[in-house]
Amino acid sequence: MKHFDFEEEKIIAEINKRGAKRVLLQFPEGLKSEGLRLARILEKIGVLPIISGDPCYGACDLVDFETERFEIDIIFHFGHTRMVRTEKIPIIYVDVRSNAIINKAIESALFLLNGYQKIGLVTTIQHAHTIKSAQELLVNAGKTVFVGDSDKMPYSGQIIGCDYSNVKSIANEVDAFIFIGGGRFHALGVALCTAKPTILANPFDEKALLLDNQVKKILQQHWDSLQKAKKATIFGILVGLKPGQENFDNALKIKNLIERKGKSAIILLINEILPEALMEFPAIDAYINTACPRISFDAPLKFLKPVLTINEFKVLSGEYSWEDMIKKGLFEK
């Protein structure tokens, strides 16, 4: 992957410093293809590399439950910054920063910014180091630029799939947002939690895209899913078993609330929330997902039954209005 820095020297230095003999490499889906290359590098220094083949959805999704069984000395977790604390075994986070040049993508975005003066900048960890350069380009083009700085995120302007605090900290100050990155998921999250025009500036294809139509489509899908869930009499409450996703206390509160309304609810402990797993419970009419909220992102298309986020359930229970939920964030915990 020519556009990304996997910090091989840092990895080798950490291994040598700790005297590690067995290391586990954990990648999100888009980076797994580099696993074999990195494993071969580590074999050359006398280390046994082991690759996690399971899906990895974020920094909350850590493989630390079988490390003692396989005598793992250290885990390298790629593509995310630290989110949860677990000291069963040392975990080294590798940002995998992109070296893609952002200039042309920002220039493309400028064509979509007619009528918008105050611009918010946001990105993922892979492009966090480009924020200042993007800001300079926009200022030189006559724009006023804002970059959020929340104490929840290690870098200014950084977001993750379930935390848009840097975005919300400046949402009232800006007319539109630019998201720097190669995928639509995070950019759509920005648009959905702010109701502001959001432009995806992709440094890999050097193009920009206004996401208005995609946002309308997703909101309609989730609105339809909510309407189906209103007819449900039996709910399944999904509790994730991954280290950063377990939310059992919230699941208990949701169960009590559902039952007070005269409906039934059952809690399901689950490690991987997949359509085929939920199909094993045909009597359940709808699910409330207390684990990773991004699982519900494309739920209307993947799952046969509604799989609501916690905030969507609050709309269902009457605690939030639909407009309140959009402001709170569809995919935030």
| Structure token digits, residue 34 | 């580099």
Q: Choose between 4 and 62: higher pLDDT.
A: 4
Rounded to 10°, the helix 310-317/212-230 angle is 50
| pLDDT tens sequence across 209-243 | 999 888 889 889 989 999 999 999 999 999 988 77
Q: Would the CATH topology of 4-97 be identical to that of 103-210?
A: yes
* Domain boundary assignment for the chain: 4-97, 103-210, 218-328
Q: Got the DSSP string for 269-306?
A: EESS--HHHHTT-TT--EEEE-S-GGGGTTHHHH-SS-
In whole angstroms, what is the distance from residue 83 CA to residue 161 CA? 12
Which segment of 40-54, 83-97, 143-157, 264-278 scores lowest on mean pLDDT?
83-97
What confidence score (pLDDT) does residue 88 get? 73
Q: Choose between 272 and 123: higher pLDDT.
A: 123
In whole angstroms, what is the distance from residue 96 CA to residue 127 CA? 9
Q: Choose between 331 and 210: higher pLDDT.
A: 210
Please, which pLDDT band fits residue 118 given cuts at 50, 70 and 90? very high
CA end-to-end distance (rounded Å), the chain: 32
Architecture of domain 103-210: 3-Layer(aba) Sandwich (3.40)
| Structure token digits, residue 320 | 């939030």
Whether domain 218-328 has CATH 3.40.50.11860: the reply is: yes
What confidence score (pLDDT) does residue 22 get? 94
| Average pLDDT of the segment spanning 93-115 | 92
| Average pLDDT of the segment spanning 33-54 | 92
What confidence score (pLDDT) does residue 9 get? 93
| pLDDT tens sequence across 156-207 | 999 987 788 899 899 999 999 999 998 888 899 899 888 899 999 999 999 9
Q: Got the DSSP string for 306-321?
A: -EE-HHHHHHHHTSS-
What is the fold of 4-97?
Rossmann fold (3.40.50)
What confidence score (pLDDT) does residue 86 get? 62
Mean residue pLDDT across the chain: 89
